[in-house]
Amino acid sequence: MGSMIEINDTLRISKTQGFPAALDIKKHLTEPIPFDLVRGKVFSFKSKPKIRIYQQPPVRTFLVEDYGGGVLAVLGALLCPERQPQL
């Protein structure tokens, strides 16, 4: 047998898993979020079920907010310049 290995290019997370509160899609649809609001910020995520393998940084990743019940909001692509060590 073997194990399934999934290499991900999409970060699908909910607010409870660390989706940035500053990136509110409802607000963004009425007034675009300025890039300066997130420039240089470091965001982290947690509590993702199952192990995922991501490509080594720097890498382009799609950021998707999961509202639950199959409702998703694709915010766009982001660049992960480096991986922060887990503490």
For residue 30, the model assigns a pLDDT of: 92
Whether the model clears a pTM of 0.85, i.e. scores above it, the answer is no
**Is residue 69 pLDDT above 60, yes or no?**
yes
Q: Is the pLDDT of residue 58 over 80?
A: no
The DSSP bridge pattern shows strands 10-13 and 59-68 to be parallel
Give Dmax over CA atoms of the chain in angstroms. 51
Please give the Cα distance from 33 to 56 (Å, whole number). Answer: 28
